[in-house]
Amino acid sequence: MAAKTNVNPALIKYSSEKKWYVLYVKSRTEKKVLERMEKFQYEVFLPLIKTMRQWSDRRKQVLVPLFNGYMFAHISPDDFTGIRMIEGVVNFVSVEGKYATIRNEQIETIRTFIETGYHMESVAGDFAPGEKVKITFGPLKDCEGELLDVQNEKHFIVRIDAINQILKVSVPANYLQKVKVVNGE
């Protein structure tokens, strides 16, 4: 599996205010937007997964974005205006009037999913909240998420709330452990 990321330490503007922000981009232009952002030396992450595509004359394995129309930028608020001017960027995703941010741990979890080769797909839909769980064994050990469904005791589904997307990852149910929720958090 592959993920495209650009980190050029010599050219990145460093700031203590840098966070991972979620960008909404025109669908099917994610790779072009990634190239444009890299040209301006922004640190970006576009999770890509391999999938088979069928055309009338052939089948081919291609890299496609895990989240259609979304990508992540590790930036400071000083970069907002410049990024909005990049062709293909629609806007920053916002939640309750604030730009959505993703914790470093969540970005690393997505990278781990991709690198380990677990079967993944982005699942559309609005699901009811479930129990918090943690993976206790294997390459995704200590990754936490929300258990939304168990099918044949193999499906662990991780919700990433800030972009309202869901990763569906196939993990044996005996690798899961309930996480105690303290004070409703």
Question: What pTM was computed for the model?
Answer: 0.64
Distance CA(135)–CA(139), nearest Å, equals 9
Amino acid identity of 127?
F
1-102 placed in CATH 3.30.70.940: yes
In this structure, the strands spanning 131-135 and 98-99 are unpaired
Contact predicate 101/163, CB 8 Å? no
Mean pLDDT of the chain: 78
CA atoms within 13 Å, Cβ hemisphere of 44: 24
Asked whether the CA dihedral 128, 129, 130, 133 is positive or negative, the reply is: positive
In the block, residue with structure tokens 């992450």: 45
- Is the pLDDT confidence value at 75 over 90? yes
Work out the pLDDT band at 17, boundaries 50, 70, 90. confident
pLDDT on residue 113: 83
104-180 placed in CATH 2.30.30.30: yes
77-128 pLDDT per residue, tens: 999 999 999 999 999 998 888 899 999 988 998 898 888 877 666 654 433 3
Give domain limits for the chain.
1-102, 104-180
Closest CA to 162 of 32, 30, 72: 72
141-163 pLDDT per residue, tens: 777 777 776 665 556 666 655 56
